[in-house]
Chains A and B, each alone.
Chain A
Amino acid sequence: MALLGQGILKGLGVTLRHFIATYTEDLKYWGRDAETGPRYLRRQSPKAKGTVTIEYPAEKAELPENFRNIPFLVHDTTLDEIKCTSCGICPKVCPPQCIWIVRTEDPVTKRPVPQPQKFFIDSTICMNCGYCAEFCPFDAIKMNKDYEIAYFPGQVPEDRLVYDKAMLEHPDTYHAALHPTGWAREMAEKGAAAAKKGGAPAPAAKAAPSPAAKPATAPAPGAPKPSASAPPPGAPPAAKPPSAGAPPPGAPPAAKPPSAGAPPPAAKPPAAPPPPGGKPAPGAPPPASKK
């Protein structure tokens, strides 16, 4: 027969351990942020002890590459045109039907021109499912990571909840900074397609390695061991992907400066395809994965 109250004492021991661990953890890494990475990264890892609090908005959690919120349209900076061809697949797959597209018509021939004249996304309806980006055959629509989209009434422009083309369009450097591995895959696919098209006969095209085009053939991760000595999550990201802070709405796309860490669009030739480990190609900003 256990002593009455023993169970309660045991439980109180657990809460006491939590309480103390919170402070010892802080003391252990006192002033060592430079070598161990920012506090919130450590505090969020499975190795963390004690209480976990990210002091938003002073600290912001690092978002993984695949994080998704309202979509945006990609503007090809080398060709200086919007990538969207207004093919109509995204409004067809959109579950809550929040995408509206007006297709451009040639004023003379009345034939459709592969460019959207108007493009609306109703952010009050969008459910952030990511289907539009997933099924877009032109990589023209991608999911944004900007989650601070609330606004006060009276802020301009008035209609900030319905995003029009000007608000949706972002340069491809912005996309590259947000989704480094996705961008590298797109570039590799483009490079492979160009190599195929570029006069080389079929056998040569076959021999051309395009592993990133077929991620299925990439090597399996083997048996990654949960090694206790996993390196700390790298150096702190030099430049945060522009996940926070909306670009000024209504500004022309060219006026939107890409984030400092974004690779220049010139660095386009098929970069080395990233291994499944998601180690970014040199020059690309570190993937914004939570560790």
Chain B
Amino acid sequence: MSTPTTKTASLPLAQLTPEMAKLQEKFGADALVAAPYDGLLLNDPAKLLDVARYCRDELDYNMLANATAVDYAKEGYIEVVHQMQRVPGGGSPITLKVRVPRGDAVAPTEPIPSLVSVYPGAEFQEREIYDMYGVSFSGHPDLRRILMWDGFRGWPLRKDWREAYYEGETKPFESRWPGGNHVLAEERVPWGDNVEIPADFDPFTYTSKPDGNLYETMGVDVPSISSASLAEMALDTNRNGIADTEEMRTDRIIVNMGPQHPSTHGVLRMVVQLDGETVTDVKLVLGYLHRNHEKIGERNTWLQNTPYTDRLDYIVGMVNEWGYVHTVEKMMGIKPTERAEYLRVIMSELTRVESHFWAIGFLLNDLGAFYTPALYFITERDLILDLFEAVSGSRMMCNYMRFGGVNRDLTSEQWAQMRELVWDRIPRKIDELEELLSDNEIVKARCIGVGYLPADRSIAYSLTGPCLRAAGVPYDIRRADPYGIYDRFDFQIPTLFGADVYDRYRVRIAEMRESIKILKQAIEQAETNSKWGDIQAGKKAYTHRVPAGQAYGRVETPKGELGYYIVSDGGQNPYRYHIRSSSFINLNSLREMTVGSKIADAVVILGSLDIVLGEVDR
């Protein structure tokens, strides 16, 4: 395969770390060159597996943190970016890039080797790259679209792809001012010239078999789903859609759980294959909440993205914002004020407490203890949200963080209320939560040993957050790659070794107690070390100059590692804006946790992962 070459010489090249130098030494300095800004560029994609295996086995980069792609449309190639990290060692990840020619607008590119055999956690991320960029992967076990539906045409994150109500490449749009007469988008672009319908498409004869593709991967023989064949199947009483592979017929059936299933925490569809009550296979159908967040982010200006990040994982908006402003601040080279740093920690730890309250309450819902425990802890969560509302203006869509600071300081009344929550109310309620649930025999019987996934498999599946720590891996970004001012506080990373649903629950409780510890220190330090109202470094502005470059910034959300991979070309808008969402990547491991357990436990295991579909589908 020929590798596209570009004018990389003019761009600043990455600084080589000792590990990168070791890689170069092993594979040759002309095969692995320093890439622009960050990471190593592998000239021959065929060697990707060897390099990844060496990273994992020799250099101990044992977890694939992030895999994504960037479309360099003008240069004519797509760059696939892999970032590997050491768990639980920590430190910044190593970046490995591969370039592949763009190909045409409909067919996928030439294949590059899939990393699933080295890092099983790459499965969903590579499917996402295939879905969004049309990069094909050889050796991938199940390369189908993941967020868009099967049969979708085009690659939505490529630079030349336009959404249905396309108005302009970047915001702000010209039509708004000074001659801004209001026009509804659907009147302006009534499925206009930006929607391409294939020439051979005839709606009257078109039949699709999107679910057929899915069921085929689960060993179900669905030749094609058309009205004729459905009628035939209905008449044929001997077949139930399952291939006869064994002599004795068994009752393996496919059950579609969701997308409108209350236990799936949103619009997630679990396609479960059952043998009696035992789960034999699980496939997930995602994308019901997909709104191409990353494309919206590339159209937005730097500032405009902050409120959109609230809508990712809408339970933990404050932390999402911090991840974004942290990454952009890193690129701009600015630092927030002391007061803002404290406020960020305070808001983020309060968010962790309220998110874990939510997660535990709804885990109990999944166990069948409907609503009473969940509502007890929603009450506590609401008190925290009251505080968010008072300081930021909104309970969940806070839009609180700004580049170099935060939006508003707390009044002394709110500050006193917060102290009361942190010193008295929340610790009391965590005790009550433990009294209510931790010793409960039914909870124990349903949770202990369920959803087991050992530490090495968790790392291989790129599992992060409380679920990884419940498997005995003390890995937390706040310690492994500290951001903000977390190095000033004394706190532990709670780690348990059960690797099951019960220990995930207990880790969350322990984390809430640690968050209270951080909050107490942060509040007291903020009172003595920082000046009230000093919340914005520099002048507040609505346009920002972010120098050309790229950065991967990450924070520890209550769900796991939230990473932002951002590429700037020096303009008013991000050139690439990728979100490494923990909910999405944690779902990789659901299959291995669930297969072999009972169908009722599948719901609990999903609950213990604590996903939010806003972040899964983006």
- On A, residues with C-beta under 8 Å from B are 2, 4-8, 10-11, 13-15, 18, 44, 46-47, 51-52, 63-68, 86, 88-89, 91-95, 97, 99-103, 112, 118, 120, 122, 127-131, 134-135, 143, 162, 164, 215-227, 230, 275-278, 289-291
A102-B179, A102-B181, A225-B419 known; 6 other A-B pairs, CB under 8 Å?
A15-B372, A118-B180, A122-B182, A131-B307, A226-B423, A289-B390
A-B contact pairs, 14 of them (CB 8 A): A7-B438, A11-B440, A14-B436, A65-B390, A66-B408, A67-B389, A93-B304, A95-B305, A135-B542, A215-B409, A221-B412, A221-B527, A225-B416, A276-B533
> Does B176 sit at the interface, judged by CB under 8 A?
yes
**Contact assessment for A46 and B397 in the assembled complex, using a CB-CB cutoff below 8 Å:** no
**Contact assessment for A99 and B303 in the assembled complex, using a CB-CB cutoff below 8 Å:** no
Query: B180 contacts which of A64, A91, A277 (Cβ < 8 Å)?
Result: A91
Whether A2 contacts B439 in the complex (CB less than 8 A), given A101-B177, A226-B420, comes out as yes
**Contact assessment for A8 and B442 in the assembled complex, using a CB-CB cutoff below 8 Å:** yes
**Contact assessment for A120 and B439 in the assembled complex, using a CB-CB cutoff below 8 Å:** no
**Contact assessment for B397 and A128 in the assembled complex, using a CB-CB cutoff below 8 Å:** yes
Instruction: Report the separation of the CA atoms of residues A7 and B442 in the bound assembly, to the nearest whole angstrom.
Output: 9
Query: B394 contacts which of A4, A44, A128 (Cβ < 8 Å)?
Result: A128
Q: Mark B257-296, 1 if CB is under 8 A from A, else 0.
A: 0000000000000000000000000000000000000000
Q: B436 contacts which chain A residues (CB < 8 A)? A: 10-11, 14-15
Q: Considering the complex, which residues of chain B in the window 157-178 have a beta carbon less than 8 Å from any beta carbon of chain A?
A: 167, 171-173, 175-178
Q: B446 contacts which chain A residues (CB < 8 A)? A: none
Query: A14 contacts which of B390, B392, B435 (Cβ < 8 Å)?
Result: B435
**Contact assessment for B308 and A8 in the assembled complex, using a CB-CB cutoff below 8 Å:** no
Least CB distance from B430 to A in Å reads: 13
**Contact assessment for A66 and B417 in the assembled complex, using a CB-CB cutoff below 8 Å:** no
**Contact assessment for B411 and A277 in the assembled complex, using a CB-CB cutoff below 8 Å:** yes
- On B, residues with C-beta under 8 Å from A are 167, 171-173, 175-182, 300-301, 303-308, 372, 376, 379, 382-383, 386, 389-394, 397, 399, 407-417, 419-421, 423-425, 432, 435-444, 527-528, 531-534, 540, 542
How many A-B pairs have beta carbons closer than 8 Å: the answer is: 195
Q: A6 contacts which chain B residues (CB < 8 A)? A: 439
Q: Which of B305, B308, B390, B425 has the most CB of A within 10 A?
A: B390
Q: B407 contacts which chain A residues (CB < 8 A)? A: 134
**Contact assessment for B444 and A7 in the assembled complex, using a CB-CB cutoff below 8 Å:** yes
**Which chain A residue shows the least CB distance to B179?**
A102
**Contact assessment for A143 and B393 in the assembled complex, using a CB-CB cutoff below 8 Å:** yes
**Contact assessment for B441 and A97 in the assembled complex, using a CB-CB cutoff below 8 Å:** no
**Which chain B residue shows the least CB distance to A120?**
B182
**Contact assessment for A97 and B171 in the assembled complex, using a CB-CB cutoff below 8 Å:** yes
**Contact assessment for B542 and A92 in the assembled complex, using a CB-CB cutoff below 8 Å:** yes
Whether A278 contacts B411 in the complex (CB less than 8 A), given A8-B440, A101-B177, comes out as yes
Instruction: Report the separation of the CA atoms of residues A284 and B389 in the bound assembly, to the nearest whole angstrom.
Output: 22
Query: B441 contacts which of A7, A67, A216 (Cβ < 8 Å)?
Result: A7
Whether A230 contacts B178 in the complex (CB less than 8 A), given A66-B408, A143-B393, A218-B532, comes out as no
**Contact assessment for B178 and A112 in the assembled complex, using a CB-CB cutoff below 8 Å:** yes
Query: B386 contacts which of A11, A44, A112, A135 (Cβ < 8 Å)?
Result: A44
Query: A230 contacts which of B307, B414, B416, B540 (Cβ < 8 Å)?
Result: B416
**Contact assessment for A64 and B389 in the assembled complex, using a CB-CB cutoff below 8 Å:** yes
**Which chain B residue shows the least CB distance to A2?**
B439
Q: A112 contacts which chain B residues (CB < 8 A)? A: 178
Least CB distance from B416 to A in Å reads: 4
**Contact assessment for B412 and A89 in the assembled complex, using a CB-CB cutoff below 8 Å:** no
Whether A46 contacts B181 in the complex (CB less than 8 A), given A18-B376, A129-B307, A290-B390, comes out as no
Least CB distance from B144 to A in Å reads: 32
Least CB distance from B419 to A in Å reads: 4
CB-based closest 9 A-B pairs: A7-B439, A100-B180, A221-B412, A103-B178, A129-B307, A220-B532, A95-B304, A120-B182, A91-B176
Least CB distance from A205 to B in Å reads: 22
**Contact assessment for B389 and A86 in the assembled complex, using a CB-CB cutoff below 8 Å:** no
Query: B533 contacts which of A51, A64, A65, A218 (Cβ < 8 Å)?
Result: A218
Q: B423 contacts which chain A residues (CB < 8 A)? A: 226
Q: Which of B178, B376, B409 has the most CB of A within 10 A?
A: B178
**Contact assessment for B533 and A46 in the assembled complex, using a CB-CB cutoff below 8 Å:** no
**Contact assessment for A103 and B389 in the assembled complex, using a CB-CB cutoff below 8 Å:** no
**Contact assessment for B176 and A95 in the assembled complex, using a CB-CB cutoff below 8 Å:** no
Query: A130 contacts which of B177, B399, B540 (Cβ < 8 Å)?
Result: B399
Q: B172 contacts which chain A residues (CB < 8 A)? A: 91-94, 97
Least CB distance from B89 to A in Å reads: 38
Instruction: Report the separation of the CA atoms of residues A126 and B409 in the bound assembly, to the nearest whole angstrom.
Output: 25
Whether A46 contacts B417 in the complex (CB less than 8 A), given A11-B435, A92-B542, A118-B180, comes out as yes
**Which chain A residue shows the least CB distance to B376?**
A18
**Contact assessment for A103 and B527 in the assembled complex, using a CB-CB cutoff below 8 Å:** no
Q: B528 contacts which chain A residues (CB < 8 A)? A: 223
Q: B532 contacts which chain A residues (CB < 8 A)? A: 218-221, 276
**Contact assessment for B542 and A89 in the assembled complex, using a CB-CB cutoff below 8 Å:** yes
Q: A68 contacts which chain B residues (CB < 8 A)? A: 393-394
Q: B180 contacts which chain A residues (CB < 8 A)? A: 91, 99-102, 118, 120
Instruction: Report the separation of the CA atoms of residues A214 and B515 in the bound assembly, to the nearest whole angstrom.
Output: 33
Whether A11 contacts B424 in the complex (CB less than 8 A), given A64-B389, A92-B542, A129-B307, comes out as no
Least CB distance from A112 to B in Å reads: 7
Q: A66 contacts which chain B residues (CB < 8 A)? A: 389-393, 408
Q: A275 contacts which chain B residues (CB < 8 A)? A: 412
Least CB distance from A163 to B in Å reads: 10
Q: B416 contacts which chain A residues (CB < 8 A)? A: 224-227, 230
**Contact assessment for A46 and B425 in the assembled complex, using a CB-CB cutoff below 8 Å:** yes
**Contact assessment for A101 and B176 in the assembled complex, using a CB-CB cutoff below 8 Å:** yes
Instruction: Report the separation of the CA atoms of residues A163 and B397 in the bound assembly, to the nearest whole angstrom.
Output: 22
**Contact assessment for B182 and A162 in the assembled complex, using a CB-CB cutoff below 8 Å:** yes
Q: B386 contacts which chain A residues (CB < 8 A)? A: 44, 64, 290
Q: A222 contacts which chain B residues (CB < 8 A)? A: 412, 527
Q: A52 contacts which chain B residues (CB < 8 A)? A: 379, 382
Q: B306 contacts which chain A residues (CB < 8 A)? A: 129
**Which chain B residue shows the least CB distance to A290?**
B386
Instruction: Report the separation of the CA atoms of residues A245 and B411 in the bound assembly, to the nearest whole angstrom.
Output: 28
**Contact assessment for A221 and B415 in the assembled complex, using a CB-CB cutoff below 8 Å:** yes
Instruction: Report the separation of the CA atoms of residues A275 and B172 in the bound assembly, to the nearest whole angstrom.
Output: 38
Instruction: Report the separation of the CA atoms of residues A135 and B176 in the bound assembly, to the nearest whole angstrom.
Output: 17
Q: Which of A10, A11, A63, A218 has the most CB of B within 10 A?
A: A11
Instruction: Report the separation of the CA atoms of residues A221 and B437 in the bound assembly, to the nearest whole angstrom.
Output: 39
Instruction: Report the separation of the CA atoms of residues A163 and B172 in the bound assembly, to the nearest whole angstrom.
Output: 20
Instruction: Report the separation of the CA atoms of residues A94 and B176 in the bound assembly, to the nearest whole angstrom.
Output: 10
Q: Which of A6, A122, A220, A225 has the most CB of B within 10 A?
A: A220
Least CB distance from B329 to A in Å reads: 18
Instruction: Report the separation of the CA atoms of residues A222 and B304 in the bound assembly, to the nearest whole angstrom.
Output: 35
Query: B415 contacts which of A14, A102, A224 (Cβ < 8 Å)?
Result: A224
Whether A276 contacts B441 in the complex (CB less than 8 A), given A11-B435, A99-B176, A128-B394, comes out as no
**Contact assessment for A64 and B390 in the assembled complex, using a CB-CB cutoff below 8 Å:** yes
Least CB distance from B301 to A in Å reads: 8
Instruction: Report the separation of the CA atoms of residues A15 and B372 in the bound assembly, to the nearest whole angstrom.
Output: 8
Instruction: Report the separation of the CA atoms of residues A86 and B180 in the bound assembly, to the nearest whole angstrom.
Output: 11
Q: B411 contacts which chain A residues (CB < 8 A)? A: 221, 276-278, 289
Instruction: Report the separation of the CA atoms of residues A215 and B413 in the bound assembly, to the nearest whole angstrom.
Output: 16
**Contact assessment for B439 and A10 in the assembled complex, using a CB-CB cutoff below 8 Å:** yes
Q: B444 contacts which chain A residues (CB < 8 A)? A: 7
Query: B182 contacts which of A47, A100, A278 (Cβ < 8 Å)?
Result: A100
Q: A93 contacts which chain B residues (CB < 8 A)? A: 172, 301, 303-304, 542
Query: B397 contacts which of A47, A127, A216 (Cβ < 8 Å)?
Result: A127
Least CB distance from A288 to B in Å reads: 10
**Which chain B residue shows the least CB distance to A15?**
B372
Query: A216 contacts which of B173, B410, B421, B533 (Cβ < 8 Å)?
Result: B533
Instruction: Report the separation of the CA atoms of residues A134 and B401 in the bound assembly, to the nearest whole angstrom.
Output: 13
Instruction: Report the separation of the CA atoms of residues A65 and B540 in the bound assembly, to the nearest whole angstrom.
Output: 22
